[in-house]
Amino acid sequence: MARIAVIPGDGIGREVVPEGIRVLEAAASLHGVPLEFEWFDFASADYWTRHGTMLPDDWFDLLRPYDAIFFGAVGWPEVVPDHVSLWGSLLQFRRGFDQYVNLRPCRLLPGVPSPLAGRQAGDIDFIVVRENTEGEYSSIGGRMFEGTERELVVQQTVMTRVGVDRVQAYALDLAARRPARHLTSATKSNGISISMPYWDERMRQAAERRPEVRVDQFHIDALTAHLVLDPGKFDVIVASNLFGDILSDLGPALTGTLGVAPSANINPERTFPSLFEPVHGSAPDIAGRGIANPIGQIWCGALMLEHLGQPRAAAAIVAAVESVLTAGTQLTPDLGGAARTEDLGRAIASEVARVE
């Protein structure tokens, strides 16, 4: 039995999460995967209004027993500033539960237009593995000689052997499980002369352990250009925190609407729960109208099933999404249709049984 903590959060999170659960329940019952859901109201503006904090004091002990967290979106700037809601919830989970891998599958789905001319479903299908805990986003550094001509600002990149090795190992293992068995490492060792050569060195060492995976490396500047010009040649891409951040915005942009993109914050050892959330936020401009696209959230359900060791149920969800998009009769406004969130969710849930 896998226990799932459900946190819908704010705005359209509350509208898309129930559709994600609907589809998960359909896939789980069909494939005999026992799932148990428990809902939580914290990590939301409502909770903040009532308690003055985003999370209860005992959030860690409360959530720790769960196998995964199925998250909607957090943020309602009219009530609580974004930096408070984000730091007070998601970033606490990420740190507390040592979710050191951030995963972003980027796949062009049928019927979803890409800004890249001539690209069709199947042409783009890569996954970004971002280091989520160290690297360029350290707070070591500071200003010197402030207010003088000699003013100087330094911020250090921190790479630890453990930190680099574990994310590269995760990416290699992931690449080994995919048909293309191809891993690209994002680097910049021609310009950043201490940390990035270390990243490359550890990558070369790690690659020896998995000779079946073809490993190459690109400098980040060239990589962004190649991703636009020839995205089809990439499979799994592993990157440091900053480079991964950049790539994981580029990816969803290449594959059309924000509404379909999923992401996961993973603790691979499963010592702590991993968290699955769509790339989009709470989207206050369309919240409460029942028109949000639930596919990003639904696809998160597939990522979660995969993490829980249920690849067949996960694949059924992705196939159902593709099939409903191909039929094109139940599309939300962002996809050019007039269907409501619930219509699209129901269509995918009933398709799950048919795509077997």
Kindly tell me the burial class for residue 3, based on how many C-beta atoms sit within 10 Å of its own C-beta (0-12, 13-18, 19 or more): middle
Q: Of the candidates 111, 296, 301, 345, which one interacts with ligand ATP according to CB under 6 A?
A: 296
User: 23-56 burial by CB neighbour count: b if 16+ within 10 A, else e?
Assistant: bbbbbbeebebebeeeebebbbbebbeeeeebbe
Q: Does 290 bind ligand ATP (CB under 6 A)?
A: no
Tokens of 324: 């409903």
Segment contacting Mg ion by CB under 5 A, of 90-98, 175-183, 265-273, 281-289: 281-289
Q: Does 259 bind ligand ATP (CB under 6 A)?
A: yes
Cα separation, 334 vs 253, whole angstroms: 14
Cα separation, 346 vs 311, whole angstroms: 22
Tokens of 239: 């990157």
Q: Name the minimum Å distance from CB 283 to ligand ATP.
A: 4
Q: Of the candidates 56, 96, 197, 284, which one interacts with ligand ATP according to CB under 6 A?
A: 284
Cα separation, 102 vs 171, whole angstroms: 11
Q: Which is nearer to ligand ATP, 46 or 200 (CB)?
A: 46
Q: Of the candidates 292, 302, 314, 331, which one interacts with ligand ATP according to CB under 6 A?
A: 292
Q: Does 282 bind ligand ATP (CB under 6 A)?
A: yes
Partner whose binding site includes residue 251, from ligand ATP, Mg ion, none (CB under 5 to 8 Å by kind):
none
Q: Which is nearer to ligand ATP, 268 or 333 (CB)?
A: 333
Partner whose binding site includes residue 293, from Mg ion, ligand ATP, none (CB under 5 to 8 Å by kind):
ligand ATP
Whether 312 contacts 355, CB under 8 Å: no
Q: Name the minimum Å distance from CB 114 to ligand ATP.
A: 17
Cα separation, 72 vs 275, whole angstroms: 10
**Residues at the site binding ligand ATP, with contacts judged by CB under 6 A:** 12, 75, 258-259, 280-286, 292-293, 296, 334
